[in-house]
Structure 1
């Protein structure tokens, strides 16, 4: 029978440091699934279209950096082992999104945002605090965050040209995964955040999207 491995606080800090490096160092993370764009052909895009799509994919990449940090922070302070395991599993799935977005950004001749370390640190702190408050709040934060991500993805899918099958395939799969993460968090006992709190989160997310589109 398999038993859960127990890590010391020092072990967990080392694991968090390793996760941070794999998230922030370019091309250091490895996906578990192939990119949905793999079977799609590249299409001709104008210079302006290419720059705009790269900006949108840069936003999504930073969003995945934030998701990694959030989940890792929550896993560090989660009280129940099953909640910690759920956070760690979700973080593993988000790695796929991180790699897919970075690869697409580079195919478009651009690079990830230089602000990623800042947003990683902020998101990790928020996740750790949420976990300290309670697992219910932590799970609720996941659900509310994923709801915001789905809204951004819907907006980006409307803006990206229909001919850019590669970018669209990535975003469509990401949306499916994020929606499932939100539902799973609520089913696991997550708190449903009130509308005013979600509105505040929406305003904060706009700061991220506006700053990382170009930087």
Structure 2
């Protein structure tokens, strides 16, 4: 059985890998086989900025789930969070690869957002499993809304980026559904409002930085 120190070391290593290492995907990238179309520089910049926001969102998800798993009470909750984290790592890989193809870069603010999200995850987990899972479900719901918005803003001809975002949408919806099946509680309105404000700060700043 791991000690508290061992667990903290593992989580610290997870953070370093998320921020510094090249993520890998077990599944094939959703855009594999999709032909790249000629995009203008303006279209590339737009798609790259949107994918930078999505990449930062996945960095936040990794941190959030690591913090939540650290303080979760039931083994089933911890397992659900860790499985979601594995798929979020794949999203990181997809986003990072597409950003590189578009000639963009990831956000300079990722370390700051990772630290903040990890702290939020630890607090959510400490409140109890039903609230922990409720936080997971609401997070995935809000992420799904952001992705839907990005599909509307994305250049119509950029089918490679569109395919990635669509698969991410499906995965996020599945995570939210699984959280509810495990007993997620409905978060109170003020909590949802605060989460949206924090999310707005992340998406706006990472779009440019």
For residue 77 of structure 1, report the CA deviation from its aligned partner. Answer: 0.7
SS for the counterpart of 1:213 is helix
Separation in structure 2 between the aligned mates of residue 83 and residue 132 of structure 1, nearest angstrom:
12
Structure 1 residue 26, shift from structure 2 partner: 4.7
TM superposition score normalised by structure 1? 0.94
Query: What are the residue-to-residue correspondences of 1:13-32 with 2, within 5 Å?
Result: 13-27=8-22, 29-32=23-26
Q: Report the CA distance shift for 1:26/1:54 in structure 2 as closer, same or farther (over 3 A).
A: farther
Superposition pairs for residues 182-201 of structure 1, below 5 Å? Answer: 182-201=176-195
Name the structure 2 match of 1:88. 82
Number of residue pairs aligned between Structure 1 and Structure 2: 209
The match for 1:128 is: 122
| Aligned with 1:44 (options 34, 38, 48) | 38
CA-to-partner distance for each residue in 1:36-69, whole Å, 9 max, x for gaps? Answer: 0111111111111111110000000000000000
Counterpart residue number, 1:3: none
| TM-score normalized by the length of structure 2 | 0.97
Listed as ranges, the matches of 1:139-178 within 5 Å are 139-178=133-172
Query: Displacement, 1:196?
Result: 3.6
In structure 2, what is the Cα distance between the partners aligned to 1:137 and 1:55?
A: 33
Q: Unmatched 5+ residue regions in structure 2? A: none
Distance 1:7 1:34 in 2: 33
Note the C-alpha offset of 1:194.
3.0
Is residue 203 of structure 1 aligned with residue 197 of structure 2?
A: yes
Choose which of 59, 79, 99 in structure 1 pairs with 2:73.
Answer: 79
Question: In structure 2, how many angstroms separate the alpha carbons of the residues matched to 1:82 and 1:199?
Answer: 28
Match of residue 5, structure 2, among 6, 10, 21: 10
